[in-house]
């Protein structure tokens, strides 16, 4: 993986600007054991995940990139084996920790998770989290170890 510090430009390519690349996942529907109410402890229920995973490396088939299919499969597997979690906020933070831990190229992450049709009169209600790798390191206590 090569960071953007060293520019790479094809002769006729426009100069890249901004914060890098993003992989996005919209409406990944997976079952999860989640909720504070007694009836939510009986069985997994569907949740919907939207994710934007930011990284800054050259686009290369040999480099460190984020495989969106692998990401979706890993998150689904993680949730299928995860014990019951009471708060959606806790579940979102756990998915974020997994994401930064298993994808070293990941620099920023926005996760939104909701339970479909949980509240009458709303399209959706859920939780969103924006983290950088620095936020992840502070959350896990690893910031002083690098």
Query: What pTM value is reported for the model?
Result: 0.81
In degrees and rounded to multiples of 5, residue 88 shows phi and psi of: -60, -35
Q: Could you tell me which of 51, 59, 37 has the C-alpha nearest to residue 99? A: 51
**96: closest CA among 77, 118, 116, 113?**
113
Q: Which pLDDT value is given to residue 15?
A: 46
Domain range list for the chain:
21-140
Report yes or no: 97 and 75 within 8 Å, Cβ to Cβ. no
- Determine the CATH number of domain 21-140: 3.30.1130.10
Q: For position 143, what pLDDT does the model report?
A: 64
pLDDT tens over the chain, length 146 residues = 444 444 444 444 444 445 688 899 999 999 999 999 998 899 999 999 999 999 877 666 666 678 899 999 999 999 999 999 999 999 999 999 999 999 988 999 999 999 997 888 888 889 999 999 999 999 998 765 54
Among 136, 87, 137, residue whose Cα is nearest residue 113: 87
Calpha distance 41→23 (Å, rounded): 33
Burial class (CB in 10 A: 0-12, 13-18, 19+), 127: middle
Q: Look at residue 50 in the predicted model and tell me its pLDDT.
A: 98
Query: What is the Cα–Cα distance from 102 to 97, expressed in whole angstroms?
Result: 9
Question: Do 94 and 33 contact (CB within 8 A), yes or no?
Answer: no
Joined tokens for residue 119: 């509240």
């Amino acid at each position: 993986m090569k960071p953007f510090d060293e520019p790479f430009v094809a002769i006729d390519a426009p100069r890249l600007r901004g914060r890098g690349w993003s992989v996005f996942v919209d409406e990944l529907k997976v079952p999860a054991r989640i909720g504070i109410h007694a009836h939510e402890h009986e069985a997994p229920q569907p949740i919907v995940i939207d994710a934007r995973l930011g990284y800054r490396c050259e686009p290369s088939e040999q480099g460190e990139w984020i495989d969106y299919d692998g990401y979706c499969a890993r998150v689904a597997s993680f949730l299928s084996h995860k014990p019951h979690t009471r708060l959606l906020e806790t579940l979102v933070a756990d998915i974020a920790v997994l994401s930064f831990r298993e994808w070293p190229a990941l620099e920023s992450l926005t996760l939104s998770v909701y339970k479909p049709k949980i509240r009458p009169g709303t399209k959706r209600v859920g939780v969103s989290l924006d983290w950088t790798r620095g936020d992840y390191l502070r959350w896990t206590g690893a910031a002083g170890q690098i």
